[in-house]
Amino acid sequence: MPEAADELKSLQAQLYREEILRARQLTREQRMAEVFEISDRQIGMMLSGAMHKLQTRDENEGWQEVSRWIKRLEKAHDRDFYTAEAPDEK
């Protein structure tokens, strides 16, 4: 079993290296376009997750739940519960 884990780690490292090399070849405009594409995809996944959690097909209910989640994250961030910097950088 440890051999499979090592193979997986090696594959992950290879994929990461390839992604970095690909990203370095992009123009600034291409990188920005990818950021928005990834963001749109993530928001769609949040909506799907909220609707699944609520067991609804009503997008308005889903968006209300997503909004609640985002407000909760904002509160956590505002209280320094979550930050983008390491503790020693503050």
Mean pLDDT, residues 52-77: 94
Long-range pairs for 47-54 at CB < 8 Å and ≥24 separation?
none
CA gap 32, 40 in Å, rounded: 12
pTM of the complete model beyond 0.75: no
6-61 pLDDT, tens per residue? 899 999 999 999 999 998 999 999 999 999 999 999 999 999 999 999 999 999 99
Examine the pLDDT at 63 and tell me if it is beyond 60. Answer: yes
Cα dihedral: 44, 45, 49, 52 (round 10)? 70
Examine the pLDDT at 70 and tell me if it is beyond 70. Answer: yes
CA gap 69, 66 in Å, rounded: 5
